Amino acid sequence: MTAAELGLRRGVLLVVAAAALTAVLGGLVRAAIALPVAPGPHQVALHGPLFVVGVFGTVIALERAVALAARWAYLAPVAGAVAVGLLLAGWSSPAAAAALLSALALVAINVAIVRRQLASFTLLMLAGALLLAAANALWWRGAGVPTVAPAWMAFFVLTIVAERIELSRLAPTPRWASRLVLALGLAVATAAAFSLVSPSPATRLLGAGFLALALWELRFDLARRTVHMPGLPRYSAAGILAGAGWLAVGGWLLALGELPPAGPRYDAALHAVLVGFVLSMVFAHAPIILPAVAQIRLPFHPVLWWPLAILHGGLAVRLAGDLVGSGAWRRAGSLANALALVAFLLAASWARRTGGGRQPRRQPG
């Protein structure tokens, strides 16, 4: 890796951080929390795309580009970063075009990975990238966020579950369970594709698929075993298993009935999946991914448990507020979710400063 390549990766992550900050502030404004410094109205309106396309989508694109180790693959994260810049400038349509380009490059990366290794998990990652491209294309053509949100969620769920299926090969998994998760993943991909043209039945089926995948993870994920190991593997596994719990909640909320384009159930379902499942996964993997992708050292320290706990506790309060109709609870939960990100930055700085806590090493056997 050249210095220029490392600089590019870190630059992309810096743009992602700017997107996250703006998205969080926009989310707080939406939750009717008064802020001394608030983003503009168009940035508040783009809270969802900033997080989905700008933060999570660009990070996944960067991870895959690093994995493939081909220069052209950086088109995916760089186009994602360009989309962030355009979103922050308030140019939604060009931003959506850049996001589409990023998704198409991610499709090409996944095709290259499938050609290297044809497996259930590489195919599901490719299916997820295709969904992202389809959703971004519709968004570019003017579709609203509620129309494309189910397919966006499916992209993240399929990508993350595929990674978990791959890792779970390290533990004994019954053959029927391996076949089942592939069938569930393909069903989720199909339902998500249909949700872009006919939301009503497809989104309910998508929710049922999310719920089933979450239950699969809770039963068969490697995290069930690594949660008993000390240090980073336990922390990471806890984030994954808690995230799977929220995926089950989000799936259940989506399966309950037709998803309204706004309101408490929409808010609860989207945040259960995107905060509970996806952001928890980001917290859980940051100490693993940051050194690998950007050579940013983040040694595990027990203090990292705090932001994870605040994230999940805050989300529980927020969803409780959604479900019982309490604006105060929803605001408190939203604030706690934002504080979880601040706490994560503080905890990460502490871990870097102290060089991590004691790192007991697992001895096989």
Q: Which of residues 12-71 bind other proteins (CB under 8 A)?
A: 63-64, 66-69
Query: What tokens appear for 58 in the block?
Result: 């660009």
In this complex, which beta carbon is closest to other proteins, that of residue 38 or of residue 119?
Answer: 119
In this complex, which beta carbon is closest to other proteins, that of residue 47 or of residue 164?
Answer: 164
What are all long-range contacts of 16-21, with beta carbons under 8 Å and residues at least 24 apart?
Answer: 16/54, 16/55, 16/58, 16/59, 16/81, 16/84, 18/84, 18/88, 19/50, 19/51, 19/54, 19/55, 19/58, 19/84, 19/87, 19/88, 20/50, 20/51, 20/54, 20/55, 20/341
Q: Does 293 bind other proteins (CB under 8 A)?
A: yes
Site string for other proteins, 245-284 (x = CB under 8 A): ----------------------------------------
Query: What tokens appear for 127 in the block?
Result: 């299916």
Q: Does 174 bind other proteins (CB under 8 A)?
A: no
In this complex, which beta carbon is closest to other proteins, that of residue 292 or of residue 324?
Answer: 292
**What is the DSSP annotation of 71-94?**
GGGGHHHHHHHHHHHHHHHT-HHH
Count of chain residues binding other proteins (CB under 8 A): 42
Q: Which of residues 228-247 bind other proteins (CB under 8 A)?
A: 229-233, 236
In this complex, which beta carbon is closest to other proteins, that of residue 125 or of residue 282?
Answer: 125
Among 36, 174, 325, 365, binds other proteins (CB under 8 A): 365
Distance between CA 285 and CA 80 in Å, rounded? 20
Q: Does 325 bind other proteins (CB under 8 A)?
A: no
Q: Does 361 bind other proteins (CB under 8 A)?
A: yes
Q: Does 116 bind other proteins (CB under 8 A)?
A: yes
Pick the stretch among 46-54, 170-178, 209-217, 242-250 that binds other proteins (CB under 8 A). Answer: 170-178
Helices (H), 232-326: 232-255, 264-271, 280-294, 305-324
Q: Does 323 bind other proteins (CB under 8 A)?
A: no
Distance between CA 340 and CA 245 in Å, rounded? 18
Distance between CA 100 and CA 357 in Å, rounded? 42
Smallest distance, Å, CB 71 to other proteins? 14
